Amino acid sequence: MSALVISALDQAAPARRLADKLGAPFAELEIHRFPDGESLVRASQASATTIIYDSLDRPNGKLIELMLAASALRDLGAARLVLVAPYLCYMRQDKAFEPGQAISQRVIGRLLAERFDRIVSISPHLHRVSSLDTVFPGAETTSLSAAPLLAKLIQADGDPADVLIVGPDSESRPSAEAVARELSAPFVVLSKVRESDRNVSSKLDEKWLAPGRAAYIVDDVASTGNTIAAAASVLKAAGASRIEAAVAHALLSGKDLRRLRAAGVERLRSTDSVLHPTNAIESAPLLAGALRGEIE
């Protein structure tokens, strides 16, 4: 029997696109939200292998509903549960930075690993913990790179030899390097100092930027957009002719987007891993490539 692709929450459109790519049946989970804030989750069908699609932006409520969905699907006979979470939450707190802090990545990682046989994601924010296998002990994991998708967007704009790919901080180096490699374009990584969630400054250490060159800032995630805004200010001062940004996951608000434009970023584009006004490329083909084995 083929796998079912199920949209757990409010992302039926990308989940359906994935089901279409896989030629797999699609069924939406039903969610009822009680007046007191609790959720009731109902699954109508499951197959031996069942895929739940649930991108985990705005994660706190979604995680509870995901736990309930996993339980309902197990009860209906799903022996193998695959979680497709194009955006994975709680990745940044991978250690206690100050005494007493919860290591959220470890807590949420175990919670999901206990319920899912396999977890598939796109460009997860891995830093000090470098592998999803460590985040999700005992589960199979697949970490897909968004670099080919972002490179495709930039390539469509013209000759990539004329652009500079910019990683806004050391953590973005793998993403920036991978996109630059795909395009055979030069890249540079800025140094960033983060003073708080919203207060960020950047520095261009190398005298790299040829004046008149278009700069594309590439990162895995834009949360508030402040990292990209700080990078844009530096690039503007260094003489970039045009500044754009491309990220795997866009989480920022409309107000943050406007601030980004005011900082000189002409355009921010993202994959549809998180539904957002900046979505410019579908992730279904990438995800389908990794999931084909589940339905054969």
Question: What is the rounded distance in angstroms from the CA atom of residue 230 to the CA atom of residue 106?
Answer: 30
Strand 30-33 relative to strand 39-42: parallel, antiparallel, unpaired? Answer: antiparallel
Per CB under 6 A, 169 contacts ligand R5P: yes
- Give the nearest distance from C-beta 28 to ligand R5P in angstroms: 31
Q: Which two tokens stand for residue 206?
A: 């190398």
Question: What is the rounded distance in angstroms from the CA atom of residue 160 to the CA atom of residue 151?
Answer: 9
Question: What is the rounded distance in angstroms from the CA atom of residue 296 to the CA atom of residue 285?
Answer: 17
Per CB under 6 A, 171 contacts ligand R5P: yes
Name the residue among 39, 21, 18, 17 with its Cα closest to residue 29. Answer: 39
Segment near ligand R5P (CB under 6 A); pick from 14-22, 78-86, 216-224, 262-270? 216-224
Q: Which two tokens stand for residue 232?
A: 């844009």
Closest CB to ligand R5P among residues 65, 256: 256
Looking at residues 218 to 237 of the shown chain, list those that interact with ligand R5P (rule: CB under 6 A): 219-227
Cα three-residue angle 169-170-171, rounded to 5 degrees: 90
Per CB under 6 A, 57 contacts ligand R5P: no
Segment near ligand R5P (CB under 6 A); pick from 139-147, 163-171, 208-216, 238-246? 163-171
Segment near ligand R5P (CB under 6 A); pick from 106-114, 166-174, 209-217, 266-274? 166-174
- Give the nearest distance from C-beta 219 to ligand R5P in angstroms: 5
Sites of contact with ligand R5P (CB under 6 A): 168-169, 171-172, 200, 219-227
